[in-house]
Amino acid sequence: ERLAPASVTKGMTLLLIMEAIDSGKISWQDTVTASEAAAAKGGSQVYLKVGETMSVEEMVKSITVSSANDCACAMAEYIAGSEAGFVEKMNAKAKELGMEDTNFVNCTGLDDEPSAAEDTDGHLTTAYDIALMSRELITSYPKIRDYCLIWMEDITHTTQKGTSVFGLSNTNKLVRFYEGTTGLKTGYTSAAGHCLSASALRDGLELVAVVLHCPSSTDRFQSAKALLDYGFANYALVPVQEGETLSPVPVVLGQSETVQPVASGEEQLLIDKGLRQSVTRTV
């Protein structure tokens, strides 16, 4: 079902930021200046002033931990020149990932902005599409977990008036209250309801649970926990090869009588936990 994702949108914003860092287009230490448009964003924010500068790393931290709309906009402008240009990149990436039911109109998920009202396709996605986006973010850029797992931390505002400290507090309460949590992103607007893309890792298995349009914040965390509990209770990863030595292969007219093959990697398969005891392997 196509629904408004609120700030879970920023999963795509963060994906493109991480991609830009990884490609060398920008770096963690780059200084980003807040424009008038960025400073004017409503909703969750760290209250950037026009002309204020902050490092890319502090911006990413603010977006991930506190869902800062002003930082998301500043980063979008820094990477693509304008928020509209960045949104084009967001939609192109969505297509590339197979997110067939997604249309982004801004980088924040604010659905009361003029851009959201003007676009006839709306700012909409599905839980499935968000799961695809979330999986791409955590598997391609595992460093994002370092920021997702910050519970509370201070950032420093530096303006012409001097410096001041602003406290970030993680909007994802699973970070503290669900074992194995690795991320990822919360969202809320009155139209979208309470949204969450939650990821967690146990016994080598990492799962993503997405819930949209929940009636309360408590409900979104409970619903995501129920989905993750179900996944961990019912599924497991088993190694395809369990350390057995492969037989040497005879060599005809070679410098050695045999060559010793080795497995190419630690391949694992996802199976129903109930079948784990009946797995057999044939080499």
Chain centroid offset of residue 230 CA: 21
Chain centroid offset of residue 73 CA: 17
Q: Which of 44, 62, 67, 134 is catalytic?
A: 67
67 is catalytic: yes
Tokens 């398969």 appear where? 269
In 3D, which of 155, 188, 158 has the Cα closest to residue 172?
Answer: 188
- Residues 112/189, Cβ–Cβ less than 8 Å: yes
Measured between alpha carbons, how far is residue 47 from residues 155, 167, 241, 249 in Å?
12, 11, 53, 66
| Angle at the Cα of 5 from the Cα atoms of 25 and 50, rounded to 5 degrees | 50
CA dist 144 and 69 (Å) reads: 18
10 is catalytic: yes
- Residues 109/192, Cβ–Cβ less than 8 Å: yes
> Which phi and psi (to 5°) does residue 106 adopt?
-150, 175
In 3D, which of 171, 198, 194 has the Cα closest to residue 184?
Answer: 198
264 is catalytic: no
Active site residues: 7, 10, 67
